[in-house]
Structure 1
Amino acid sequence: MEIFQKAMETMSPADDEMWWGTLGTVRPFPNFNSERDAREVQVALEKKDMNTLVRVLTNRTNAQRQLVAQAYRSLAGKELSAMLKKCLTGGLQDLLLGLMMTPSQFDAHRLRQAMEGLGTDEETLLEVLCTRSREQLKEIIVVYNQEFGRYLENDLISETSKDFTKLLLAILTKEQENLPGVIDYELIDRDVKTLAEAVNGKKVDSAPWIKVLTTRDADHLDRVLLRLESVKGETVDKMIHNHFSGDLRLGLRTLVHSIQNTPLYLAHRLHNSIKKGAAVRGILVSRSEEDLLSVRVEYRRLAQVSLYSALQKEFKGDLQQAYLALCQAEDV
C-alpha cells in the first residue's frame, strides 16, 4: 500500500497523459496529495461545506479516494464514510458514499439493494451482471459475501424464478468456452444453427440461448448475432421479443444489447431512468473511469440532448453539481 500510495502521489504530468486515452471522465487528479485532501475534507465536514466535499470527492479516481479515506482515518481517527453518512442526507449522501466504496463493493451493494424489501429490481440486477467482466463478477461474489454475510448465488435463486434464474446464474458464473481473439468459423456456424433451431418450432427452447450467450466472448457473439440476423431476416431483439416472455425476455434482450453495444445499452437505461436517482447514480459512479465518454456520445445520439444537459435539468443543488462533475462536460 505504501508503494502504491507513493506512486500515486508522485505521478508526473507525463504519467497522467496516458490516462487521457481512456474513455472515462474521471482521471487521476494531478499533484494528488491524500493528506492534504483529508485535511480539506475534515474541515468541510465540520463546516458542512457540501461544495468542497463534492469538488474533492468527484475529482479523484477511486484509487485516490481510497487513499484519502486512509489518510482521513489516520488524521481524525474515524472512518470517512461514517462521517459522510452522519453529515449528509438524501441523494447526495448516497452518491458520495457510493464513490467511497471500491467498485466491487459498489456493485455488491447495488445488487443487494435490488433484492431487498418487497419486489426485485430486475433491471438493476441485469445492468450490473451483464456489463461486468468475468473477473469483475468473481470479485463481486467474494465482496458480496464479505459485506453481507450472504451468498449472491443463493440470493439470486431465492429472489428470481425459472429460466430467468438460470440466465442470471449462467451470467454470474460464465466460463468462456471459445478461445478469445481466435475466429472459429465452425463454432460460429454451429452457434447460429443452434440459436435458430431453438426458436423454429412451436416449443421454444431457452437453454441453447442461455448457454451460447454466456459461454462465448463478445467478438465471437457479435459475429454470431450478425449472422443469425442475416439467416432469420430479422433483428435478434425482435426474435427474442417474439419467442420469449416475462423476465427471461428482459434478461435476454439486456444481455444481447450489452454484447452488441454496452455504451448504447447504458445510454438507453439512463434515458429511460433519468428520473430514478438510483439508476443514474449507479451508472455514473460505475462507468466514470471506464467508458462514460462513450455513454455520453450514445446518449446524445439517442436523446438529441446531451447527458450533461439532462442531468442539469433533472437534478438541483449539490447533487446536481456532483453528477455534472462526474459527467464532466457538455456534448454539442
Structure 2
Amino acid sequence: MALLKGKKGTIHHASSFNASKDADTLRTAMKGLGTDEDALLKLLIGRSNYQRQEIALAYKTEYGRDLVEDLKSELSGKFEQLLVALMVPSSLYDAYELRNAIKGAGTSEHVLIEILASRTCSEIAGIKKEYQKEYERELESDITGDTCGPFEKLLVVLVQANREPDGKVNDGEIEQDAKDLFDAGENKWGTDEEKFIRIMGSKSISHLRRVFDKYMTISGYQIEESIERETSGNFKELMLAVVKCIRSIQCYLAEVLYNAMKGAGTDDHTLIRVMVSRSEIDLWDIRQAFRQNHGQSLHSMINNDTSGDYRLALLLLCGGEDD
C-alpha cells in the first residue's frame, strides 16, 4: 500500500535511554499498595516499541518477573489493553489481531479488512511470518477456512503480498485496465468480480491511481461509486477499503478512527488497534487527515469520547492538538 513520503509517527526513540533505569521505574510504580498509573503511561508511551522490548528484557533480568504479566495484574479494562498492546512488536500485534478476528465463533471481518487493506507488502510478509511462528498455522489457510466467495479471493490475493512495486506504471495498460473495470461492472449485467480482484490486488499503487482517473473519464463515475452499486457485503467493504488505501492510507485510517468514535458508544478495540499500530509509522499524518476530512481534531474527539487514564494515554499517543 502507498505511504506518504516523509510520513511521521507520534512516537519516537527516547534519547538518553536506559533500559535498566526504566525497568526500575516501572517496578517501583507497580509494587506495594496501589499503582502509579501516571508513571506507567508516561514512561511506556515515551519509548519506542524497540525500547519497550529492551525494558521488558531488563525487567525480567533484574526482577525475574514478566513485565506484561505484571501490567495485566496491576491494571484493568481499556487502560490495561492499551498498555499491553504497546508492549507487542508491530508485526506480532497485527498477527494477534488477525488471529483473534478469525478464531472462535464468527469472524470479525472489519478487522481483516482494515489490516490487510492498509498494510504494505513488506508489512504483510512480516505479519505472515509472525502468524506462523506464534500459532503454527498459515494465515492464508485460516482465512480460506473462515471466509468465502469473492471476499475470500481478494483477501487471499492481498495476503500474497505480491503487488507490483510502487512506481511501476505501464502507460499502455492504464486505459485498458480502466476499460476492463468499467466492462466488469457498470457496462454489463452483473459483475465480473474476478476482474476487479485481479486489477485491484496486483497492480502498483501509482498505476492504479492513474487507472482511477482514467476510469472517471471513461465512465463518468468515481470508482468508489461503481463499487457501491456493483458489489455488496464484505466484498464491497474490502474493495472500498483497498481503493481508499490506494488513494491514501492515512485518510482511510482517519476515517476508521472517526467511525470508531462517532455516535453512541466507542469501538475501543479499533481505537486502540489503530492508535498503537500506527503510532511509530504515520499517526501524525493521520491526525492531519482527520482534521481535514472530519471537521475536528483527533485529539478533541478522543478527549470527548474517552475518560480516565485511558484517555490520558490515548492523548499522549496522539501527540498533541492540531490548531
TM-score band (shorter)?
A: over 0.9
Counterparts of 1:210 and 1:118, CA distance in 2: 27
Rounded Cα–Cα distance in structure 2 between residues aligned with 1:198 and 1:328: 44
Match of 2:318 among 301, 311, 327: 327
Aligned counterparts of 1:309 and 1:92: Cα–Cα separation in 2: 19
Residue 122 (1) aligns with residue 100 (2): no
Which position in structure 1 is the counterpart of 2:128?
Answer: 141
Q: Aligned letter for 1:144?
A: Y
SS at structure 1 position matched to 2:234: helix
Preserved CA contact (<8 Å) 2:97 2:111: yes
Q: How does 1:258-297 map to 2 (within 5 A)?
A: 258-274=245-261, 275-297=266-288
CA displacement 1:62-81 (0-9 Å, x = unmatched) = 11111111111111112211
CA positional deviation for 1:237: 0.7
Name 2:308's counterpart in structure 1. 317
Equivalent-residue separation in structure 2 for 1:304 and 1:167 (angstroms): 33
Match of 2:16 among 6, 31, 34: 31
**Is 1:233 matched with 2:220?**
yes
Residue 174 of structure 1 corresponds to: 161
Unaligned runs of 5+ in 1: 1-20
The amino acid across from 1:28 in the alignment is H
TM-score normalised by L of structure 2? 0.93
Amino acid of the structure 1 residue aligned with 2:285: S
1:4 corresponds in structure 2 to none
Rounded Cα–Cα distance in structure 2 between residues aligned with 1:141 and 1:318: 33
Alignment RMSD: 1.4
Q: Which runs of 5+ in 2 are unaligned?
A: 1-5
Say if 2:236 is the partner of 1:249: yes
8 Å CA contact retained: 1:109, 1:144? yes
Tell me the CA shift for residue 22 of structure 1. Answer: 4.6
In structure 2, how many angstroms separate the alpha carbons of the residues matched to 1:150 and 1:322?
A: 34
In the aligned structure 1, how far is the partner of 2:161 from the partner of 2:193? 16
Residues 174 and 214 in structure 1, CA contact (< 8 A), matched pair in contact too = no
Aligned-pair identity in percent equals: 32
Paired amino acid for 1:291? D
Structure 1, residues 136-176: CA drift from partner, whole Å, max 9, x if none? 11111121122223221122112211110001010111313
State the distance in 2 between where 1:184 and 1:221 align.
10
Q: Deviations over 1:302-329 (max 9, x none)?
A: 2221111111111111111110110010
Residues 67-146 of structure 1 aligned to structure 2 (within 5 Å)? 67-146=54-133
Give the equivalent residue in structure 2 for 1:201: 188
Runs of 4+ in structure 1 deviating by more than 3 angstroms, as ranges, are: none
In 2, are the aligned partners of 1:44 and 1:53 still within 8 Å (CA)? yes
Distance 1:213 1:320 in 2: 38
Q: TM-score, normalised by structure 1?
A: 0.90
Cα deviation digits, residues 61-115 of structure 1 (max 9, x gap): 1111111111111111122112111221111111111110100111011111222
User: In 1, distance between residues paired with 2:10 and 2:230?
Assistant: 39
Q: Conserved in 1, the CA contact under 8 Å of 2:124 and 2:161?
A: no
**Quick one: which amino acid aligns to residue 301 of structure 1?**
Q
Amino acid at match of 1:280: L
1:256-292: per-residue Cα shift (whole Å, max 9, x none)?
Answer: 0111111111111111112110110011001111111
Task: State how far apart, in whole Å, the 2-side matches of 1:148 and 1:182 are.
Answer: 35
Q: 1:41 aligns with which of 26, 47, 53?
A: 26
Q: Whose RCO is larger (CA < 8 A, sep 6+)? A: 2
Match of 1:11 in 2: none
CA distance in 1, matches of 2:119, 2:299: 24
Matched residues in 1 for 2:279 and 2:161: separation? 25
